[in-house]
Amino acid sequence: MTVWHQDFIKQTTMLPMQQLDGIFSLSGLTDWPNAYGLNQLKSGFGNRPIPKFVCQNQLPETDLYYEQIIHEQNIIPTRPNSWHDLFNGLIWLQFPQIKGLINQQHVADIKFHGLSPRTTRRNNLTHFDECGVILTYEKNSIAEQLLEDLATHKWHSVFVENRAVWGKELNSYMFGHANLEMLLQPFIGLTGKWLALEVDRQFAKLGYGEQLNLLDTLMVNYIKSANIFAEKKPMGPLPLLGIPGVWDANKNPNFYNNTDYFRPMGRLKNND
C-alpha cells in the first residue's frame, strides 16, 4: 500500500520540507488533509484573514476566474488529493497577507484590463505565487554583497565561498507552491524567482512562526510601496537545488560547476 505522503517523507531532509513539517506535522497525517484538513489547520492560526478552503468538486460551475472566486466569495477552491493545491493552502496559512494582496492585485487588473491579454503585473504575480523565494538579509552584512553576486550569477561566491552565511545573515523562505510540489521529485534545472527583504539582527532570534508573521507584513509593505510587480523583470532566477540545506548533492562544491544549471550572465533563456 502506497503511503499518501511518501514523496514528502522522502524529502524531509530538505530545508523547505523540514520547515513545513515542523509547522503542520504532515508526516504524521494518515491521509490527505484536503480542504477539510486545511480548514482544521487554519483554526490553529487565530483570526487571520484566510478564506475558507472548499473542495472544488463541491462547487457549482461558474464563469468566474479562480482569483475572482477567491475575491468575491472568500473561498479557495481546492482539488482533492493534489499536492499543488495542498501546498498552495499551506502557503495561505503561512503568508495570508501576501496571498491576499496577490489576489487583490490580480482582480484589480482583471477589472481594469480584462482577463486577456494578461498584464505585466499579473504575469509577475503568478511567477511569484508559483515560484517565488523570499530571501532575508541583514543590513551592513556580507549578505548585502551576496545579493549583488546572486543578481549577477556569481554562483560560487554565493553558494560555495560564502556558504556559511546561509542560515545566518542570509536566509531563504519558500513561497511558491509550485516550487514545493516540484521539490518532491527534484531535477536539475529546477529554478525559482527571488525577492529580498532587509531584516534587523533581532530577526534571527525570533521563532520560525514569528519570522513568518513578520515576513508576511514586510513583504506586503514592500510590494505596495515599490509597486514591484509592475516592473518588467522584478525577480531574479534562483537555482533551487543550489540553496544550502535544500539538496544534499550541493555539499560538494563541484555541484556548482554545471553551467547548464548555474548559468553565467548572458546565457539565460529569454523567459528567465
Position 49 pLDDT exceeds 90: no
209 against 270, higher pLDDT: 209
Dihedral (C-alpha) 53, 58, 64, 66: value to the nearest 10 degrees?
Answer: 40
For the cut 80, the answer to whether the pLDDT of residue 1 exceeds it is: no
State residue 44's pLDDT score. 78
2 pLDDT more than 80: no
Q: What is the pLDDT at residue 43?
A: 83
Segment 127-151 mean pLDDT: 95
- Predicted confidence at residue 232, as pLDDT, reads 92
Question: Per residue in 63-87, pLDDT tens?
Answer: 899 999 999 999 999 999 999 999 9
Separation between Cα atoms, residue 46 and residue 21, nearest integer Å: 19
Residue 267, pLDDT score: 56
How confident is the model over 223-270, as pLDDT tens digits?
999 999 999 999 999 999 999 999 999 999 999 999 999 999 875 544
The pLDDT value given to residue 86: 98
Average pLDDT of the segment spanning 21-25: 95
Averaged pLDDT for residues 188-196? 98
Q: Provide mean pLDDT across the span 119-138.
A: 97
- Say if residue 127's pLDDT is above 60: yes
% of the chain with per-residue pLDDT over 70: 97
The yes-or-no verdict on residue 194 having pLDDT over 80 is: yes
Section 161-169 average pLDDT: 95
The pTM for the full model equals 0.94
Mean pLDDT score across all residues of the chain: 94
